[in-house]
Amino acid sequence: MKLAIMGLGIMGERLLRAALTHPATEVVAVWDPAPEAAARLACIAPGLALAPDAAAAIAAAEAVYVASPPASHIAHGRAILEAGRALFLEKPLASDLAAARAFVAWAKGRRAAVNFPMASSPATAQLLRWLPEIGPLRAIEISCAFAAWPRAWQRAAASWLARRAEGGFTREVASHFLFLAQRAGGPLRLIEGSADHPPGEGSETAARARLLAGEVHVRFEGRVGGTEREETNETRLIGAAGEIRLRDWSYAERLGPDGLWHAAPDALPNPAMRPITLAGQLDKLAALTRGEATTLATLEEALAVQEAVEGILAGTQPRGASSA
């Protein structure tokens, strides 16, 4: 697979590093309009020159990963698909929900997927293997908390990650766990949600929601503050005969008869799990590029997650409820 990467921020750099050691991938182009991008690329891949523009990156590749800010996703995605290349799009699909809906309808049947890494996470795979053992799924509970937002390692992208228009933890983090809930329970639908925003244009400081994943009830709560750790998160799947959970991104755990949580034998901390997960994503992207079926997140799955997220941030109420 000849791969181009558009956007050399945090996510672009992560996939680039994974792709440079992936046996089925040749990185043929990287493009980012930021003045400092060339120097960053030279440090990561000295033999790879920055492409002069987006069109050159697309022309050189068979598949293109778009890791630019959300407002640019649709334009890049259309150009890539119109050129006959496979598209691997960072989430969310767009900064505008109507544009995202139109894009998904237009792109139907084309080679396109969205980078929800849980589609290849060993921890997620373990949870889904355990799922039949806990009986019919009754509920899913999602919680996340952050000492500050953006997180320390995201500060370079704070110009948009900290803003209400495109950023916030609900879009950037909770969306991953909502995707997991959808994979476990079924199509995602928001019942009601709300978010607290500071004065001005800052992103949310708290959010909560009730949703359905298929017929399974889902509850979500997130906040900035209330934890001394940089970040904590938990997605708990509650069945008729037991409970399992994903903790801190990478720990698949089962609730034992002793009332304690027990991790899967091969559980790893997220920094160690991430390269394995990204290699799995690249395996599947190579298959998608060849026209094969994969378990990468589809555009339709990503749109369902985005519909829920934007509904939460907008303060969606149950039908018939008063806004007073």
- Please state, in angstroms and rounded to a whole number, the distance separating the CA atoms of residues 296 and 282: 10
> What confidence tens digit (pLDDT) does each residue in 38-47 have?
999 999 999 9
Q: Please give the CATH architecture assigned to the domain spanning 119-277+306-314.
A: 2-Layer Sandwich (3.30)
Q: Is the dihedral of CA 164, 168, 170, 172 positive or negative?
A: positive
Please give the sequence-ordered ranges of beta strands (E in DSSP) within 120-255, or none if there are none.
137-146, 188-196, 206-213, 216-224, 231-239, 242-247, 251-255
Structure tokens at 36: 């400092």
- Please state, in angstroms and rounded to a whole number, the distance separating the CA atoms of residues 260 and 258: 5
> What confidence tens digit (pLDDT) does each residue in 256-295 have?
999 999 999 999 999 999 999 999 999 999 999 999 999 9
Task: Compute CA distances 172 → 70, 149, 287, whole Å.
Answer: 11, 11, 26
> What confidence tens digit (pLDDT) does each residue in 101-113 have?
999 999 999 999 9
pLDDT over 60 at 321, yes or no:
no
Which one-letter DSSP state was computed for residue 25?
-
CA neighbours within 13 Å on the CB side: how many for 63? Answer: 27
Query: How large is the average pLDDT for residues 315-324?
Result: 65
E strand or H helix that includes residue 204: none
For the chain, give every domain's residue range. 2-114, 119-277+306-314
> What confidence tens digit (pLDDT) does each residue in 228-256 have?
899 999 999 999 999 999 999 999 999 99
Taking domain 2-114, whether its CATH number is 3.40.50.720 is answered by: yes
- Please state, in angstroms and rounded to a whole number, the distance separating the CA atoms of residues 320 and 324: 12
Residue pair 250/273 in contact by the 8 Å Cβ criterion: yes
Residue 55: per-residue pLDDT: 97
Task: Compute CA distances 41 → 9, 52, 60, 61, whole Å.
Answer: 11, 13, 17, 18
> What confidence tens digit (pLDDT) does each residue in 152-166 have?
889 888 888 999 988
